[in-house]
Structure 1
Amino acid sequence: MICQPVKTWHLGDQHQSLVLASFDNRLPEAVYWGPALPTGESHKTLSAASLMDVTGGMVDKNAAISLCPEASQTFPGQTGLTVRSRDGNPLAPAFRYESEAASEHGLSLVFADKALDLTLVLDLTLTPETSLLKLQTRLESADIVQVDWLAAPVLPVPAHTGEMIEFSGRWCAEFLTRRLPFAPGARLRDNRSGRTDHAHFPGLIVCTPGTSNTQGEALAFHYGWSGGHRMVAEELADGRRQVQFGHAGGSQAAGRHFVTAPLYATYSAGGFNGAAIRFQRHVRDAVVKDMRTPRPVHYNCWEAVYFDHKLDELKAIATHAAGLGAERFVLDDGWFGLRDDDTSSLGDWVIDGRKYPDGLTPLIDHVKALGLEFGLWFEPEMINEDSDLYRAHPDWVLGPSDQTRGRQQLVLDMAREDVRTHLYGQIATILRDNDIGYIKWDHNRVLPLVDAAQTEGVYQLIDRLRANFPQVEIESCASGGGRIDFGILERTQRVWLSDSNDALERQRIQHDAALYLPAAVTGSHVGPRRCHTSGRTLDIRIRAWTAAQRHMGFEMDPRELTEDETDVLREVTSWWKANRDWMMRADILRLDSSDPAVIAEQQLAENGDRFAVFAAQIRASDQILPHPVRLTGLDPASLYRISLANRDQAPQLSRGSPFLKTEDLEVSGQYLMSHGLTLPWRFPETIWVLEGQRL
């Protein structure tokens, strides 16, 4: 029985319930987070049932894993707030309930320490359409204080889960996943790069040892912030576990007002896919705004010409790209200043008169006459020492003058209003004077220091450009996947997932990124025959179909294509265009492949009536014949017609007569999910594409 006053709150829907309890007016703690609770469940009873015993070697009361664990309560692990007074003395606030306010789908809870004049506000919502929790912490101080750490609302994870999946990676190998056991102590990931970064995607999935793509429990997190962040996954000595996310430690200047980025979280009883589709739908429908539909087939000239811009060649390339089915042409790095390589001109956003004596108009007119939208590359946050801007304003550089350069460039201090005003003026002039519908916004080096004000400044610049040029879409590109998060996606319409156009690498990167990202925002391009980042030579079929799994584009010199390659690329592009309306709103369901040589996914339409399956053979299998590919998310009682979209690509070594090799198949959803599809044998580095329709 509870011997102290308790307040409770419930955020829940048909998928999950989060029950919070405040004992004796202290900060609330999550006493339940899991499958949806039945109507009428007593939250006060759950609160009482959550209280744990004490025994020898412990203090006489368990400090709560509250939404902000407090040092003043003798909390034995990572606290949710580390704050110092103006003169540097540590503060240990003891917050008490002040007030609350309900919103349509959530609430704000206000707690205060009146002796220290500190107020903590917890903003908590549950999006009804996507069943995604959005949690944010605010700290207000009457006096100036230094906050070394402020966590977004902290959630416990249950002991039976036992494992975590974290994200790492590198340039051209983003979204690597590692499955680790929980163990006593803290797993700390502190990203000091100043951007989301290839190696530090701000996500975490907590799961059971048996959780797979299609079954088992998962609790998934994402911190929607584009600067450096910190993640803590901790198991206390008493066995309890907590997950914290926030800005990188020490990245915020002293002040009176502090706020975390939103922490997005969800519980899934349906495996990783159950969480993934909620993140995908939330990005597509609630985060990204003003996305162009239908999604245009994209062409980028970077791997065709690099810095060598010649107007006649670019026109010829655009003509070829349009003939293949492109609907957008993006002019990449090299059009401005005196930019012949990566050593000069960043910061000088004026058209290079040597390469474009009549400006960009002749190229834009040609592109528009072909029926294509025109896009342009910028890297606004960066500066070269060999630039007019640096010679005029060396004081605008972020960090010390003797810092290590990155890609032979420095970074502008985006916290400065004069820097943002200058950049806005130059970019806005280009956009006003030219018919431009798209910006590829790059960010090609890590920062010399981690500073939250840098990220806020970038947000302000992009927000101003978006407000005044709402017709212009923006792609977040940071050497590929270096800045992908929900914070940047609130301001952009596309991400460049990786600088690798190697289709085999892309299969794995796209597969793991689908845990959070929908197809509509994920750029994927058909690269050159010989990949410029891996050196691997791949057939046009695997390259084209891999790009067709996301927002499709090309990034090669189309003049290199043979007649056969041209025909294949046109055919796949036409297929993508015919299906993009439903595919760009489909759920990407990762399939559990019993063959580790196969990466397979199923894109299921919103109404469930149709789907496409992509099964890529990344390497030779260990066994002779293919394992059946089991599908997911279908109605067991319905019949589906299955066709092999590229059955003409079966090799001669496929000597048998599997049904799909020659005919369409009509079977139940139960059969497809329990037995799966038997596919023809194929070579490594190839892909089967299947189409399904509910009858």
Structure 2
Amino acid sequence: MNQQWRLDDGQQTLVLAARSGRLPECVYWGAPLPVTEDLVALHAAYALDVTGGMLDENPDLSLCPQSARSFPGQPGLVLRCTDEIRMLYGLCFVDAQQNGPDLRLSYRDAAAGIDLTFSFTTDPQTHVITCQTTLNTDRPVQVDWLAAPVLPAPQLSDEMIDVSGRWCGEFQLIRTPWSAGLRMREARTGRSGHEHFPGLIVPNRGTTNCQGEAYAFHYGWSGGHRMLAEELPDGRRQVQFGHATNTQAAGTQFQTAPLYITYSNTGLNGCAVAFQRHVRDRIVTDAHPVRPVHYNCWEAVYFDHKLPELQDIATRAAALGAERFVLDDGWFGLRDDDTSSLGDWTVDARKYPHGLTPLIDHIHSLGMSFGLWFEPEMVNESSALYRAHPDWVLGPMDQIRGRQQLVLNMASADVRDYLYDRIAAILSAYDIGYIKWDHNRLLPAPDAAQTHGTYALLDRLRADFPQVEIETCASGGGRIDFGILKHTQRVWLSDSNDALERLRIQHDAALFLPASVTGSHVGPRHCHTSGRTIDISMRAWVAAQRHMGFEMDPRELTDHEAKVLTDVTAWWKANRDWMMRADILRLDSADPAVIAEQQLAQCGSRFVVFAGKAATSAQIQPRPMRLTGLDPAATYCINVINRDHTPGLSRGNPALKSGPLTLSGAYLMHHGVTLPWHFPETMWVLEGTRK
């Protein structure tokens, strides 16, 4: 019995096929196939030859490769009885259900008492396929490894792109050549992590941001995870994602997180746009439709909270254009530094003798909403909570501390109930529209139950306080993934407010994240994390590329700086409705010193280009910058909107320096636009509209 199934979303086709009732293989994934494609012939064409030194048949690279079928690479399922006896299994077809965009395939090993189900859902609007593996067993087993549906990687690829990083240096793209053997990334810090973002892009040879084929994966899970990219001895390649190994307790029911996949024939941007739209339109829910300009007071006051100063800061922030004020760490317990009070979620009467009401009333009088910082999953030893419940700590008591704190056991219902009660009391007592939810240390060990517990608490709070938006922060970008975004509405991309670092971080993060959920703030003149001093114009325009905010002391601003920031903020407000739904397209810059992107309205009628010069160029003259995604037959009026910042060393007269130009989409995409000369650490901003 041979079987075939296909999934289509208009941008890609996925074909699964199986022989003799065995587990299915992905026999095609790529550009859309004709509706008349003969899947039986396609399945036959997929078969490989056999030669000397091989088995008499090629073991299936199935959706869950099986050791029992002599598969020569990493298997998709490793489990054992609770008495440590490793189980072998042979799964056979049970059922297939296909209903429109959904496909569900079920398999069973009756002797071992194992049921395995693969589910796929296509989305014709976002062009993302969501796939998941579910395991059920008749008796408790220990699962060491369970992969989401395993897919092949393309043969015409020379490299893979995965994502590393660190605190204040998130989303670093790592290009690794394919070679015989295994590329394995495993996050064992208990969160998706700065170091191992759960994403992978596999470009075909010659692919750039704007052209060529690419395949992309994202594992939507906020705990420890594992990625395998393996080239088998016979040359085939597989990609696996799942929870980190040995992080789930014995049981009878197991399920991977969703694996989100997409294919593009328009370069890396095609994958990026699919993920951006899917996050914005399918994963993030209940976000305020108008993204307010955000002010966070952390880098202005740190733990030194004084009501008159905070009111003054709020007044100045509102004058600059802020619409939301977030009170950060230091408002609760006896919190004067990071050594105490985590877990004691009551307002500090020393700093706020009348509670938060005077501050909130002042903020509301300025037309701003109010947000508040929490770090619910953590506890300090110097806290009433720890003294009452040291047994609520996750891990051994002799573990290494992190930022003077320990982790609460979020798998415990008692812990979650306590946290819910304390947070709900604050949300009920005050008019709060926003929570910054922080997570500032690694777990002592990866534990899937910890992540499930955090999700449960977030869901309970959101159900009872639906008006409250939640930002996910973990020392900046330490917990950013599609899993946490199902429960939150914004990410704090990095603790770095250095505009040059942010320029690169958010540019690379756009491969997965839309502008509407990506917080980007104007930091202090003298950056607190890098020590670099950056001009206000660069700081403001970098923040204007995403969900804009401020995070500095507005009392430090000169009149000139205040005017620049006010003007850029006003521009962002005038454009945010379309920009927060625009596609972020990374441009192929001819100058390595220039990091450039084009935000294109979904209707294609307008765009904005941000061309940031992060370093000194090797050549004197700016190289033409090719745009992308335009109608080649249409004409566009383009204009540099910040030409008043042209430096004196720009002595020539390129056309854009003096006024707008009208050019064809074909010219703009194949030759590009020539911008005036400018200094390093500055940015040109170019608006375009279709005539």
Higher mean displacement: 373-382 or 44-53: 44-53
SS in structure 2 opposite 1:529?
Answer: coil
Partners of 1:30 and 1:67 within 8 A in 2? yes
1:307 matches 2:308:
no
Distance 1:102 1:370 in 2: 55
Which ranges in structure 2 are unaligned for 5 or more consecutive residues? none
Q: Deviations over 1:271-304 (max 9, x none)?
A: 0001100000000000000111210000000000
Q: CA RMSD in A?
A: 0.6
Counterpart of 1:336, as a letter, is: F
2:340 is the alignment partner of 1:326: no
CA distance in 2, matches of 1:287, 1:212: 27
Q: CA deviation at 1:681?
A: 0.4
Q: Displacement of 1:53 after TM fit?
A: 1.2
TM-score between the two structures when normalised by the length of structure 1: 0.99
SS of residue matched to 1:202: strand
Query: Match for residue 630 of structure 1?
Result: 626
Deviation at 1:388, TM superposition (A): 0.3
Alignment partner of 1:364 is 2:346: no
Equivalent residue number for residue 194 of structure 2: 198
1:409 paired residue number: 405
Q: Say yes or no: does 1:268 pair with 2:268.
A: no
- The CA deviation string for residues 403-437 of structure 1, in whole angstroms up to 9 with x for no partner, is 00011100000000000000000000000000000
Partners of 2:96 and 2:548 lie apart in 1 by 47
The answer to whether the 8 A contact 1:203-1:222 is kept is yes
**2:480 counterpart letter in structure 1:** I
Query: Per-residue displacement from partner, 1:18-73 (whole Å, max 9, x unpaired)?
Result: 10001100111001111110111011111111111111111111111100001110
> Match for residue 172 of structure 2?
176
CA separation in 1, counterparts of 2:364 and 2:439? Answer: 28
The answer (yes or no) to whether the contact 2:342–2:383 under 8 Å persists in 1 is yes
Identify the residue that residue 617 of structure 1 maps to in structure 2.
Answer: 613
Contact 1:329 1:375 in 2 (8 A): yes
Partner of 2:492: 496
Deviation, 1:125, is 1.0
1:450 pairs with one of 446, 449, 462: 446
Instruction: Give the Cα–Cα distance (whole angstroms) in 2 for the partners of residues 643 and 99 of structure 1.
Output: 59
Picking from 33, 42, 45, the partner of 2:38 is 42
Alignment of 1:290-439 (within 5 A): 290-439=286-435
Structure 2 equivalent of residue 8 of structure 1 = 4
- Code of the aligned partner of 1:391: R
Give the conservation status (yes or no) of the 8 Å contact 1:227–1:455.
yes
1:88 equivalenced with 2:84 (yes/no): yes
Partner of 1:590: 586
Partner of 1:460: 456
Partner of 2:687: 691
For each residue in 1:363-418, what CA deviation from the matched residue of structure 2 results, as whole angstroms up to 9, or x when unmatched?
00000110000000000000000000000000000000000001110000000000
- Distance (whole Å) between structure 2 residues aligned to residue 160 and residue 681 of structure 1: 39
Q: Give CA deviations for 1:239-291 in whole Å, capped at 9, x if unaligned.
A: 00000000000010100000000000111111000110000000000000011
Which of 501, 514, 534 matches 1:538? 534
| Equivalent position amino acid for 1:593 in 2 | S
CA contact (8 A) 2:374 2:435 kept: yes
Contact 1:85 1:144 in 2 (8 A): yes
Percent of paired sites with the same residue? 67
Aligned partners of 2:401, 2:453: CA distance in 1, in Å? 21
Is the 8 Å Cα contact of residues 86 and 143 (structure 1) preserved in structure 2? no
1:521 aligned to which of 517, 523, 527:
517
Distance 2:355 2:194 in 1: 35
Give me the whole-angstrom Cα distance separating, in 1, the residues matched to 2:343 and 2:601: 44
Q: Does 1:143 align with 2:169?
A: no
Match of 1:469 in 2: 465
Report the Cα distance in structure 1 between the residues aligned to 2:205 and 2:334, rounded to whole angstroms: 56
User: Which ranges in structure 1 are unaligned for 5 or more consecutive residues?
Assistant: none
Cα distance between partner residues in 1 of 2:48 and 2:466: 54
Deviates more, 1:376-385 or 1:34-43: 34-43
Residues 206-257 of structure 1: CA deviation (Å, up to 9, x unaligned): 1123110001110000000000100000000000000000000001010000
What is the rounded CA distance, in whole Å, between the counterparts of 1:325 and 1:306 in structure 2? 22
Query: Which residue of structure 2 aligns with residue 508 of structure 1?
Result: 504
Q: Is the 8 A contact 2:595 2:613 kept in 1?
A: yes
Amino acid in the other structure paired with 1:233: A
How much has 1:13 moved relative to structure 2? 2.6
Q: Is the 8 A contact 1:152 1:245 kept in 2?
A: yes
Contact 2:610-2:683 within 8 A present in 1 as well: yes
Distance (whole Å) between structure 2 residues aligned to residue 238 and residue 426 of structure 1 = 58
The match for 1:77 is 73
2:25 aligns with 29
Task: Please give the per-residue CA displacement for 1:616-662, whole angstroms capped at 9, x wherever unaligned.
Answer: 01111000010011100000000100011100000000000000111
CA contact (8 A) 2:156 2:205 kept: no
SS where residue 91 of structure 1 aligns? Answer: coil
Q: Which residue of 2 aligns with 1:651?
A: 647
8 A Cα contact 1:602 1:614, kept in partner:
yes
Contact 2:136 2:253 in 1 (8 A): yes
**C-alpha distance in 2, partners of 1:107/1:619?**
49
Offset at residue 309 of structure 1 (A): 0.2
Does structure 1 conserve the Cα–Cα contact (< 8 Å) formed by 2:303 and 2:330? yes
Instruction: Answer whether contact 2:9 2:123 (CA < 8 A) is retained.
Output: no
1:331-379 CA distances to partner (integer Å, 9 max, x unpaired)?
0000000000000000000000000000000000000110000000000
Contact 1:68–1:151 (8 Å) recurs in 2: yes
Report the Cα distance in structure 2 between the residues aligned to 1:331 and 1:164, rounded to whole angstroms: 41
Cα distance between partner residues in 2 of 1:660 and 1:685:
20
The reply to whether residue 670 of structure 1 matches residue 685 of structure 2 is: no
Deviation per CA, 1:128-174: give whole Å up to 9, x if none: 11110101000000100000000000000121112100100100000
Could you tell me how far apart the structure 2 residues matched to 1:678 and 1:227 are?
A: 46
The Cα shift of 1:445 comes to 0.6
Other structure's SS at 2:373 match: strand
CA distance in 2 between partners of 1:348 and 1:123 (Å): 43
Shift of 1:535: 0.2
Tell me the secondary structure at the aligned position of residue 256 of structure 1: strand
2-side partners of 1:240 and 1:102: how far apart? 28
Match of residue 67, structure 1, among 63, 76, 94: 63
What secondary structure does 2:122 align onto?
A: strand
**Secondary structure of the corresponding residue to residue 520 of structure 1:** helix
**How far apart, in 2, do the equivalents of 1:611 and 1:207 lie?**
26
Letter in 2 for 1:234: E
Structure 2: how far apart are the matches of 1:208 and 1:520? 30
State whether residues 630 and 669 of structure 2, in contact with CA within 8 Å, keep that contact through their aligned partners in structure 1.
Answer: yes
Number of residues paired by the alignment? 691
- Once the two structures are TM-superposed, the CA of residue 100 in structure 1 deviates from its matched residue by 2.0
Q: Of the candidates 245, 250, 253, which is equivalent to residue 246 of structure 2? A: 250
The code of the aligned residue for 1:492 comes to T
